[in-house]
């Protein structure tokens, strides 16, 4: 299988910047496409901060951080993705936006062997594949945040994904990015989110009902169950908008009440209290 060396990442939020960083640290040529100049500047700063934290923690040297940053280029023009061998979509968790993006990428990326991947955490991959003329080359690569620190990637092939594409994507993730892969079914939430989302939503309902405060729930799960972080703090880290979107997708598919986003979560998203990324969620990060 031809080695993937030219990677495109669409979106440079928390997930997109993390994917770009791990690819660049693995000596790949990375092109990041964003929607605006302000997003470009914010993405660059997000990457610099993350690399700086890795240097401070001793995970990489300052020279390694500089070299990784030098391998990442940015653009607001999606047409520059034309030569990429792998493009990973990491935009907002909105099905319509993702369908539009895959329609565009299908027209732009010229390499007939290129893989079009999505980092979606809830949308069935086959829906994205069907809007392209190469459904066999579309796959899900669900990274976990923070991407530089979490070793797992869920690999999701749809009913239309070619076996060779799945094998090539798995080889890339394990041999180049040195991450662990589990193959997940092409259904909303896949494996990990199908398990953890009901847990996080149950914790939010507990807070919503006044049964316990966020810090009490979190302390209980950390001290009583040896979880590294409590469910409300984890929800803040994931992003409450993302959690709400995933819960809604799961509920739409399965109609199970445990997947339905609680009213408290919906109100917090409506008021832009999205967690750590906006400075306030169940906790204040200002």
Whether residue 114 lies inside any domain: the answer is yes
> What average pLDDT does the segment 12-37 reach?
96
Identify the CATH number of the domain in which residue 201 sits: 1.10.1040.10
Q: The dihedral of CA 261, 266, 269, 275: what is its sign?
A: negative
- Which pLDDT score, from 0 to 100, does residue 276 have? 93
What is the number of other CB atoms lying within 10 angstroms of the CB of residue 254? 14
173 and 202 part of one domain:
no
- Annotation marks residue 73 as catalytic: no
Going by C-alpha positions, the residue among 246, 239, 235, 229 that lies closest to residue 208 is 235
Per the structure, the count of domains in the chain is 2
- Which pLDDT score, from 0 to 100, does residue 31 have? 98
11 and 120 part of one domain:
yes
Task: Report the 3 state secondary structure along the chain.
Answer: CCCCCEEEEECCCHHHHHHHHHHHHCCCEEEEECCCHHHHHHHHHHHHHHHHHHHHCCCCCHHHHHHHHHCEEEECCHHHHHHCCEEEECCCCCHHHHHHHHHHHHHHCCCCCCEEEECCCCCCHHHHHCCCCCHHHEEEEEECCCCCCCCEEEEEECCCCCHHHHHHHHHHHHHHCCCEEEECCCCCCCCHHHHHHHHHHHHHHHHHCCCCCHHHHHHHHHHHHCCCCCHHHHHHHHCHHHHHHHHHHHHHHHCCHHHCCCHHHHHHHHCCCCEHHHCECCCECC
Whether residue 252 lies inside any domain: the answer is yes
Going by C-alpha positions, the residue among 78, 81, 98, 80 that lies closest to residue 89 is 98
44 and 178 part of one domain:
yes
- Annotation marks residue 193 as catalytic: yes
Query: Up-side HSE of residue 232: CA atoms within 13 Å toward CB?
Result: 24
- pLDDT tens track for 133-163: 999 999 999 999 889 999 999 999 999 999 9
107 and 208 part of one domain:
no
Whether residue 286 lies inside any domain: the answer is no
Q: The dihedral of CA 48, 39, 271, 99: what is its sign?
A: negative
209 and 93 part of one domain:
no
- Annotation marks residue 171 as catalytic: no
Whether residue 1 lies inside any domain: the answer is no
Which of 138, 161, 183 is the endpoint of a domain? Answer: 183
- pLDDT tens track for 231-269: 999 999 999 999 999 999 999 999 999 999 999 999 999
176 and 257 part of one domain:
no
Which of 130, 163, 183 is the endpoint of a domain? Answer: 183
- Which pLDDT score, from 0 to 100, does residue 41 have? 94
Whether residue 21 lies inside any domain: the answer is yes
Whether residue 24 lies inside any domain: the answer is yes
Q: How buried is 248 (Cβ within 10 angstroms: 0-12 exposed, 13-18 middle, 19+ buried)?
A: middle
Mean model confidence pLDDT for the chain: 96
- Which pLDDT score, from 0 to 100, does residue 71 have? 98
- pLDDT tens track for 42-60: 999 999 999 999 999 999 9
Using pLDDT thresholds of 50, 70 and 90, give the confidence band for residue 2.
Answer: confident
Question: Is it the case that residue 1 has pLDDT exceeding 80?
Answer: no
119 and 236 part of one domain:
no
167 and 236 part of one domain:
no
Going by C-alpha positions, the residue among 183, 140, 181, 188 that lies closest to residue 160 is 140
- pLDDT tens track for 203-216: 999 999 999 999 99
Whether residue 188 lies inside any domain: the answer is no
206 and 94 part of one domain:
no
- pLDDT tens track for 168-203: 999 999 999 999 999 999 998 999 999 999 999 999
- Which pLDDT score, from 0 to 100, does residue 205 have? 98
- Which listed residue (17, 93, 142, 145) is catalytic? 142
Identify the CATH number of the domain in which residue 53 sits: 3.40.50.720
Which of 183, 207, 241 is the endpoint of a domain? Answer: 183
- Which listed residue (21, 89, 93, 154) is catalytic? 154
Whether residue 189 lies inside any domain: the answer is no
- Which listed residue (54, 118, 193, 245) is catalytic? 193
What range does the domain containing 253 cover? 194-278
Find the range with the poorest average confidence among 27-31, 56-60, 66-70, 77-81. 56-60
175 and 259 part of one domain:
no
């Amino acid at each position: 299988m031809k080695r993937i060396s030219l990677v495109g990442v669409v979106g440079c939020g928390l997930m997109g910047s993390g994917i770009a960083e791990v690819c660049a640290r693995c000596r790949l040529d990375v092109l990041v496409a964003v929607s605006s100049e302000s997003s470009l500047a914010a993405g660059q700063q997000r990457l610099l901060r993350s690399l700086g934290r890795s240097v401070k923690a001793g995970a990489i040297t300052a020279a390694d951080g500089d070299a990784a940053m030098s391998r990442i280029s940015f653009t607001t023009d999606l047409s520059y993705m034309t030569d990429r061998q792998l493009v990973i979509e990491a935009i907002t968790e909105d099905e319509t936006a993702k369908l539009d993006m895959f329609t565009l990428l299908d027209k732009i990326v010229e390499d007939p062997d290129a893989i079009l991947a999505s980092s979606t955490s809830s949308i069935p991959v086959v829906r994205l594949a069907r809007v392209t003329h190469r459904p066999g080359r579309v796959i899900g690569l669900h990274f976990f945040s923070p991407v530089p620190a979490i070793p797992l990637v869920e690999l999701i092939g749809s009913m239309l994904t070619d076996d060779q594409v799945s094998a090539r994507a798995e080889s890339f993730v394990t041999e180049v990015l040195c991450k662990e892969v589990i193959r997940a079914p092409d259904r909303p939430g896949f494996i990990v989110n199908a398990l953890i989302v009901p847990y996080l939503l149950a914790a939010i309902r507990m807070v919503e009902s006044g049964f316990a405060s966020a810090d009490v729930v979190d302390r209980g799960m950390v001290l009583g169950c040896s979880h590294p972080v409590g469910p409300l703090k984890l929800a803040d880290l994931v992003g409450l908008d993302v959690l709400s979107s995933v819960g809604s997708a799961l509920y739409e598919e399965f109609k199970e009440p445990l997947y339905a986003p609680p009213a408290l979560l919906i109100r917090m998203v409506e008021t832009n209290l999205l967690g750590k990324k906006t400075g306030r969620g169940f906790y204040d990060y200002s």
